[in-house]
Amino acid sequence: MEKQYRIKKNKDFQFVYKKGKSVANRQFVVYTKPNKTLTHFRLGISVSKKIGNAVVRNRIKRGVRETFKVHKDDIIATEIIVIARQPAKDMSALQIQASLEHVLKIAKVFNKRIR
């Protein structure tokens, strides 16, 4: 993901946690906060060390990033933070994508109907 699509600073994460809304399923928690100043979404990903070693955590993050690349044009201008939960460590990339799409539909961040 390009730099403009990332949330990296702790201050930005804390702002979205405090002011945003959260939606969850068994594998992911998604915090969203509408952003009127930007024309695109920004994404922050959090995967705890409790979930697994670096290989497992990076595989989950790659799956999350890939999902957002696929839907890059379908997501409204929003600050989004994705937190992975324990069951996500056993999922394949396609399962991660399906689970995230489910949570994002509930969070209403898509600007048009997604299958």
In a domain, 114, yes or no: no
> In this structure, what CATH number is given to the domain that contains residue 52?
3.30.230.10
Q: How many domains does the chain have?
A: 1
In a domain, 87, yes or no: yes
In a domain, 33, yes or no: yes
Are the beta carbons of 100 and 69 closer than 8 angstroms?
no
> What's the pLDDT score for residue 113?
62
In a domain, 115, yes or no: no
pLDDT in tens, 56-67: 999 999 999 999
In sign, the C-alpha dihedral spanning 26, 63, 73, 76 is positive
pLDDT in tens, 12-39: 999 999 999 999 999 999 999 999 898 8
Expressed as residue numbers, the domain containing 81 is 3-107
Cα–Cα distances in Å, from 98 out to 27, 58, 64, 81, 108? Answer: 11, 18, 10, 17, 15
Judge whether residue 110 has pLDDT over 90: no
